[in-house]
Structure formats: structure tokens, C-alpha cells
């Protein structure tokens, strides 16, 4: 697992940048230099270059929600 991700805990706030759309609802995002593949489960359209503020909702597997929303946005893809 990537260095930045190992230090996260539920409730932490993070900023991620969308760096690539891999088709459908799958994206590659950058968390402080760590690139991970995620699935966007929200109704919000994401664009390459967009920065999103997220709150960690689960660790194993990782899940995040938008900081201004109650809706879960990302599930980590492995």
C-alpha cells in the first residue's frame, strides 16, 4: 500500500486530484503523489484536473465521501 494511504484513518479529510478517466465511472486519482484507481459512486461528474475534498469513511477497503455531501463518492478499485 502507498505511504500516504497507510496513515489515513476514518474521519480524515484529504484532497485528491483526478488525473485520468479510465472509462465509465472509474478514475485514477492522486493522493499526495499516490495514484490509485477508484470508482465514482456519486452522481457528481468528475473531470480530469479537478480537485475534490474528501472524508475517509472506511479503511478496508478504502471509501471516501465528498466533504460537502453525505453521499459516498469513491471506492478503491484493486
As a whole number of angstroms, the distance between CA 47 and CA 12 comes to 23
As a whole number of angstroms, the distance between CA 2 and CA 67 comes to 22
Of 57, 46, 59, the closest CA to residue 17 belongs to 46
56: cell is 475517509
Q: E strands of the chain, at which residues? A: 13-23, 26-31, 34-40, 51-58, 63-66, 72-76
Which domains occur in the chain, in start order? 3-76 (2.40.50)
Q: What is the pLDDT along the chain (78 residues), one digit of tens a residue?
A: 466 777 889 999 889 999 999 888 888 889 888 888 888 887 888 899 999 888 888 888 888 877 765 555 566 665
What local confidence, expressed as pLDDT, does residue 10 receive? 92
Amino acid at each position: 500500500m502507498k505511504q500516504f494511504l497507510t496513515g489515513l484513518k476514518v474521519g480524515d479529510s484529504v484532497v485528491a486530484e483526478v488525473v485520468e478517466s479510465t472509462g465509465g465511472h472509474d478514475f485514477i486519482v492522486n493522493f499526495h503523489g499516490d495514484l490509485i484507481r477508484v470508482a465514482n459512486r456519486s452522481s457528481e461528474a468528475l473531470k480530469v484536473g479537478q480537485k475534490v475534498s474528501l472524508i475517509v469513511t472506511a479503511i478496508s477497503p478504502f471509501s471516501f465521501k465528498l466533504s460537502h455531501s453525505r453521499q459516498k463518492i469513491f471506492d478503491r478499485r484493486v
